[in-house]
Amino acid sequence: MSKVIIATLYGIEPVMLTTTKLGADKLILILSKRPDGKQEKSLEIIKKSLGSVVEIKTIKIDPYDIVQIAEEVVKLIDLLDDKDLIYSNVTSGRKTMCLGLLYASYCRIKKIQKIIYVTEEENKLIYLPKLSFNLTPSQQRVMEKIANHKLNTLAKLAEAVGISRGMLYRNIKELQDLDLIEENEGLKLTDVGRIARL
């Protein structure tokens, strides 16, 4: 069993603080595909300071593609041992990077110990609520069928999902209210909907 911190990186303070305070064994840093000077310098300092006692890995992503960030982090979480204690640090880096990590944490909330934000003023750890998408099995099936674009009528969709048309309409309304699907030349998943399916 290892303590693993998955963190977005820009400035070093939030990452250093959570890594040392929680006594992490492994640190996985989310970086831009083309990191700027400050991000590179932060990574260099973290490797020099912690590299002899903490295993450090990096994931490079497009900092503005929230869906891709969430997908990469979900894959990473799925590869970690089920006994690992996983913490998400959503403090440093571009806001879109932090949101991608946060959404990935929601997708695998049962594996996440804590979601952490570090305040700038006091360097205090704040534990954010552990939320999840909480989709019903029929909502998940509706989203799966919409994602695969295999059905072109609501009647066929209801039949494929195995629910009545009335229940289908209710599921569609609920999924639209959650901004998981939209009607745009047919039903389509939103970016958040694509993340919720991970």
> How much is the average pLDDT of 110-133?
94
128 touches 98 (CB < 8 A): no
- Tell whether domain 137-196 is in CATH 1.10.10.10: yes
Distance from C-alpha of 182 to C-alpha of 198, rounded to nearest angstrom: 18
Q: How confident is the model at residue 148 (pLDDT cuts 50, 70, 90)?
A: confident
11 touches 35 (CB < 8 A): no
Give the pTM: 0.87
Q: Kindly report, residue by residue over 24-78, the tens digit of the pLDDT.
A: 999 999 999 998 889 999 999 999 999 999 999 999 999 999 999 999 999 999 9
Contacts 24+ apart (CB under 8 A), 163-168: 163/138, 167/138, 168/142
Q: How confident is the model at residue 187 (pLDDT cuts 50, 70, 90)?
A: confident
Query: Is residue 154's pLDDT more than 90?
Result: no
Name which CATH class applies to 3-128: alpha beta
Distance from C-alpha of 28 to C-alpha of 72, rounded to nearest angstrom: 12
Query: Is residue 110's pLDDT more than 90?
Result: yes
Domain boundaries, the chain: 3-128, 137-196
Amino acid at 114: K
Q: How confident is the model at residue 151 (pLDDT cuts 50, 70, 90)?
A: low
